[in-house]
Each structure stands twice: as C-alpha cells, then as structure tokens.
Amino acid sequence: MEYPVIDSLVSPEGKLEILSRQEIAKLLDNSQTGLHQVFRSCALAVLSSGSFIDSGKTLMDSYPDFDIKIIHRERGIKLDLRSAPAHAFVDGKMIRGIRELLFSVLRDVLFTSSELALLDLHQEPDSVAITDLVFHILRNAEALLRAQSPNLVVCWGGHSISRLEYDYSKRVGYQLGLRGLDICTGCGPGAMKGPMKGATIGHAKQRITDGRYLGFTEPGIIAAESPNPIVNNLVILPDIEKRLEAFVRAGHVIIVFPGGAGTAEEILYLLGILLHPENQHLPFPVIFTGPADSAAYFSQINEFIGATLGPAAQERYEVIIDDPAAVARAAQRGSDQVREYRKQHSDAYYFNWRIKIDHHFQMPFTPTHEAMRSLSLHKNQPAHQLAAHLRRAFSGVVAGNVKVQGIAEIEKHGLFEIHGEAEIMEQMDRLLAAFVEQGRMKLPGSVYQPCYRIVK
C-alpha cells in the first residue's frame, strides 16, 4: 500500500546550516561504505511519525520513491525531499517538530560516522572507548545537561500494548510530570509515547516550560518505532547495544511498562549489568508497573527472571500494580538516592560513569542463524553472563520481527533456531508464547508470523 506524498525543500533551523563538501559527499554516497541509505531510512522514519507501521521493510515498501538529497548553497544547505509522507506537512509546510527531528537525524548520522571512523583505529574497541563514544554522541546532541539535577526517568515498554495499558502509562507520566521529572524513552508509540504525553500535562500544570522528552533510538529499529511527535530531543545511536548503554548512563530511574520481546531484551540487559559484582551496591531504582489487568504479565516476567537468573535478579526491582502516584513517588525517592550517592562519590549527575558495563553487553550482536544457534543459554555460568546471552536471544527475535535485515534473514533462511538448557528453553518458550497470545509482538490488527523456533 502506498500513501499520499509530497515534494519539498526544507531549511535547517539553528543547527547544521552548513556542511563540508566531504560530509555532503558521504550523505549522497549510495555505496556500502556511504551514508545515504541509513540517512534515507532514518529520515523516512521521522517523516512517518504517527504512522501505524511497525516494520522497517513495510515502511520502505510504502514509500518506494522517497528520496532525500542535499542542496549546497553559499548561505547554507537545504534538504530536497522527493515523495515524502504528506502527513508530515501542513498546508505544504513541514511540521516544526518533525523538521527538528529530521535535522537531528542529519546531525547524528554525520557525527556518529566520524566517531566510528576514529573507533575503527582499534582492532576491537575496549569498554572505555565504547562508553566514550556513547558519551560523545549524547553530548553532541545536547542530551547531557551539566547543571541538571538527577531527574531523568527512563520508561521502557512495548509499542504494541492495549489501550488500557497505554492510558495507564499516560497516568504514570502525568504523576512524574507533576513532580518535575523528565522522560526518556525509545521514542516510538505505545509505552514510549504514553509517559511523555502524560508528563506534558503534569509539566504544564506546574508551569514547567523546559520539560525534556528524550528519545533514544538506532537505525535498525527507528523505522519500526518512528519517533512520536512529543520527542523534543531525538538521539540516534549506531546500534542497539550503544542505545541501551545510553539509557543506563543518562537515566537515573527506570520504569518498565508491559511490552514484548524488545522490553524483555531491555530488562535482561539492565539486570545483567546490575548483577555484575562491581555494581552490587550501586543505587539504580527499577520499577515494573502496569494496570491491574497487567498483573499476570509481570508475574510471568518475574517467574522467568527467577527461573533463569535467580532471586538476586528479582531483588533489583520492585513491582507496583495500578498505582501511578505510588510509582512516581518511588521514582522521586529513587532519584534522591541517586543524587546523594553521586554527590558522596563525586560522580557526575548527567552521566553514570561509575556503573560497570561488561564487554559482553557492549559488543554489537548481529542475529544471523548461526549466531542465534550458538548462544550459550545454560546456567553453568555467572548470572550476569547468562543475562547477556538471553538478551541476545530476545534481540534476535526483535530483529526477525521488525528490522529490515532480520526480516530478510528469515525470508532467506527460514526461522531462527534457539538452542539451550531444557529448563531455560521451556521458560523462554512459555514467555514468548504468552507475548504472542497477548498480541505484544505486532501492532493491533496485524497477524504475527513467528520468526523463531525454540529447540528443547
């Protein structure tokens, strides 16, 4: 299905008004080493904000003639858009918020390319180099405020959730906003949009005019989770691992709403880090929450965590059901604890330098069939290492569900096969089956086609 389109010339507003000839050449380069394809796909995702598409391949197929070029003029640049989504415009003019996000894409694609070129000087980048890269990208995007008190609440949850769960996430966001807390999410729809929408009302009632609504994404997922229109600072990290590290380094509290495989991936990433012995005494508040109807969902998640990672992992979060005000109060207390800890240890408020992130969690995982079959899913290893492998398993499911490369891999070679210890496989099969039954793998109205097979 194709949608209404429009051609337009768009000027930047206050940033990246001039580019070098080398930068323009890289953005127009269609080769494998060029930036045009990633720039085009990320730009289309931003222009599709508010669409009901959760597949990168479907989005590209819906706008087959879309293209974006750079016109270099003496006084600066313009973006030449061809066959762009018409709903990004009002009376022929691009919506201002979408235009800001579009130039965030330009900023991050160029900056990250330069930073990755420097990182390639290492044979295999070490943990310090990777963390520095995440820091540089966030700093360049002005997502790190030196004078800001620890008040950034990261909200995770699914893009495919029920209306009841979405409304609940808004109510939580409203309570957070009333307490002056800012919001950071994966920037998409569902549980990524609801807290931001609620917080805007809470901020407005408290006459907070500089509320922050940060969206962290990456090129492989942005097309499936196009930025929602409330995001006022979009940051595109180069891959899922650096996106997840950005959440943990920049955020002060994490709230998890109901979701699917992607949310399970985020939970396992976070718990794997918190289970590392060096992070044992580090305060990092984590809250699982949802409406009363979602209580069974969190029981399933809690059971899975206990059966795979053990009771120590379950102690790193609290579950609050159907009480938005209690969630916000817990988040406020948590941010106060983080403030005191960092003050005592002379750590920055704006970036969590002290938390130890093992190299297993930083190196990009490409979910090929061989890589998925080779995952080490057994209990004969430290819990934080098992969490790293489980995180990769769910990452592969996400890729097969919504990412262009993952979908192509499934179409070419068939279903991913996930092997492992019988008890872990049984728990994983049960959890993923529940996600499918509850409609958490695709947007409402879509029929889910599994991309994986559990081998017991």
> pLDDT digit string (tens) for 77-106?
888 999 999 999 999 999 999 999 998 998
Reduce the DSSP state of residue 234 to 3 states and report it.
strand
Query: Hey, which bits of 157-241 come out as E strands?
Result: 182-185, 213-217, 233-236
pLDDT at 252 over 70: yes
Average pLDDT over every residue of 186-193? 92
CATH 3.40.50.450 in the chain is located at 145-456
Confidence (pTM)? 0.91
Task: Determine the Cα angle at 70 with ends 67 and 74, to 5°.
Answer: 160
Q: Please report the pLDDT score of residue 55 as a whole number.
A: 66
pLDDT at 363 over 70: yes
pLDDT at 15 over 70: no
Tokens of 349: 């408020």
The DSSP symbol for 225 reads S
Q: Please report the pLDDT score of residue 348 as a whole number.
A: 93
Give the count of beta carbons closer than 10 Å to the beta carbon of residue 283. 15
Which of 53-67, 146-160, 269-283 has the largest mean confidence? 269-283
Residues ≥6 apart with Cβ < 8 Å to 346: none
d(CA 400, CA 405): 8
Looking at the structure, give the CATH architecture of the domain made up of residues 145-456. Answer: 3-Layer(aba) Sandwich (3.40)
Determine the angle formed by the axes of helices 127-140 and 240-250, rounding to 10 degrees.
Answer: 70
> pLDDT digit string (tens) for 309-322?
999 999 999 999 99
> In whole angstroms, what separates CA 448 from the centre of its chain?
21
d(CA 319, CA 255): 10
CATH 3.30.1850.10 in the chain is located at 5-121
**Contact between residue 84 and residue 66 where contact means Cβ atoms under 8 Å apart:** yes
What's the CATH class of domain 5-121?
alpha beta
Exposure string over 430-448, b if 16+ CB within 10 A, otherwise e: ebbebbeebbbbbbeeeeb
What kind and span of H or E run contains 228?
none
- pLDDT > 70: percent of the chain: 93
